[in-house]
């Protein structure tokens, strides 16, 4: 990945934070059809943001948004259990996969394979920590079993994966558009 300036990274960080706020916060008018982009935010932060503070800052933002949803939006506290802490390694996997991909990225079609591979592996690891942690540690399930857990995964994981891939695809299109526009502007300036 081409190194970005502090200003560029700050703009990206602000955009990612705003995107998480819009897609993670219940009751934000006009966002009912947006599915949570949190997984994609952590992945993209790994790709674009080099500061060691990016991951903890986004983890804090996710926690604050969830706490606000519980306190002010009347969201059920069903998922807020001791297993909630498993979101730290879950989101950390997405961020780490993004960091790995940043080292592989080239502005070429061949970069799609490492992008998709890193997103799939990260999604599986994230799901194992997030949903696995909830299933096994939340005490919400009377008789947890591997069979029941796998059945739940078959039911819920495809939607989480599809959402992640959708938002990463949207981000990739934005990335291509920005890079192409900047290259075109640079070419125009050079020919003037």
The neighbour count for residue 79, using CB atoms within 10 Å, is 15
Q: Is residue 188 part of a domain?
A: no
Q: Is residue 106 part of a domain?
A: yes
Convert the pLDDT of each residue in 2-16 to its tens digit.
688 899 899 999 999
Q: Is residue 159 part of a domain?
A: yes
Q: Nearest Cα to 41, choosing from 58, 27, 22, 57?
A: 58
The per-residue pLDDT of the chain, averaged, comes to 84
Give the count of domains, the chain. 1
Name the more confident of 34 and 63: 63
Print the domain residue range for 79: 6-175
Q: Nearest Cα to 125, choosing from 102, 158, 97?
A: 97
Alpha carbon distance 45, 36 (integer Å): 15
Q: Is residue 182 part of a domain?
A: no
Alpha carbon distance 144, 165 (integer Å): 29
């Amino acid at each position: 990945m081409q190194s970005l300036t502090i200003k560029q990274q700050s703009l990206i960080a602000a955009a990612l934070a705003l995107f998480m706020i819009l897609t993670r916060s219940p009751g934000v008018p006009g966002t009912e059809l947006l599915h949570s982009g949190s997984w994609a935010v952590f992945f993209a932060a790994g790709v674009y943001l080099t500061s060691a503070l990016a991951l903890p800052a986004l983890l804090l933002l996710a926690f604050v948004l969830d706490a606000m949803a519980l306190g002010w939006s009347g969201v059920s506290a069903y998922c807020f259990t001791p297993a909630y802490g498993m979101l730290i390694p879950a989101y950390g996997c997405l961020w780490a996969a993004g960091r790995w991909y940043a080292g592989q990225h080239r502005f070429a079609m061949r970069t799609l394979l490492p992008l998709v591979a890193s997103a799939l592996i990260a999604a599986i690891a994230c799901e194992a920590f997030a949903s696995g942690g909830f299933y096994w540690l939340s005490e919400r399930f009377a008789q947890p079993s591997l069979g029941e857990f796998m059945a739940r995964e078959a039911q819920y994981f495809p939607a989480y994966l599809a959402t992640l891939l959708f938002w990463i695809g949207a981000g990739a299109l934005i990335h291509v558009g920005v890079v192409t526009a900047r290259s075109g502007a640079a070419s125009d300036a050079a020919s003037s």
